[in-house]
Amino acid sequence: MAPVTITHATSGNGGKYTAHVAGEEATGYLEWEHSPSQESVRIATHTVVPKAIGGRGIAAQLVEQLIADARDQNFRIVPQCWYVAKKFDANPDWSELRA
């Protein structure tokens, strides 16, 4: 399986994790916004992985990077995106990160 590199960029009131798969033009991404009421809360709004790179666990890797950053940077997450919510439900050890 081709290696996946995940980058993160902030802009405006949020940010975006982008998954780059070696040898592929298509990228997957997870977008988030700051909570309007709490600076230490991020709202995961969308996770998108195009069919061209689907079926490789890309979405899960994006969520795992968000979780790792939440632990490192001390923020919590509102899983507004259905996929992120599903991953939270499947990983009860993340419960302290759910806002």
The token duo for 17 is 């994790």
How many other CB atoms are there within 10 angstroms of residue 22's CB atom? 9
| Residue 97 identity | L
Provide the pLDDT confidence category of residue 2 given band limits of 50, 70 and 90: confident
d(CA 39, CA 87): 23
Is residue 29 included in any domain, yes or no? yes
pTM for the structure as a whole: 0.95
What's the CATH number where 25 sits? Answer: 3.40.630.30
- pLDDT tens per residue, range 6-48: 999 999 899 999 999 999 999 999 999 999 989 899 999 999 9
Domain count, the chain: 1
Is residue 99 included in any domain, yes or no? no
Q: Which domain holds residue 71?
A: 4-81
d(CA 85, CA 16): 17
Is residue 13 included in any domain, yes or no? yes
| Residue 37 identity | S
Is residue 34 included in any domain, yes or no? yes
Provide the pLDDT confidence category of residue 96 given band limits of 50, 70 and 90: very high
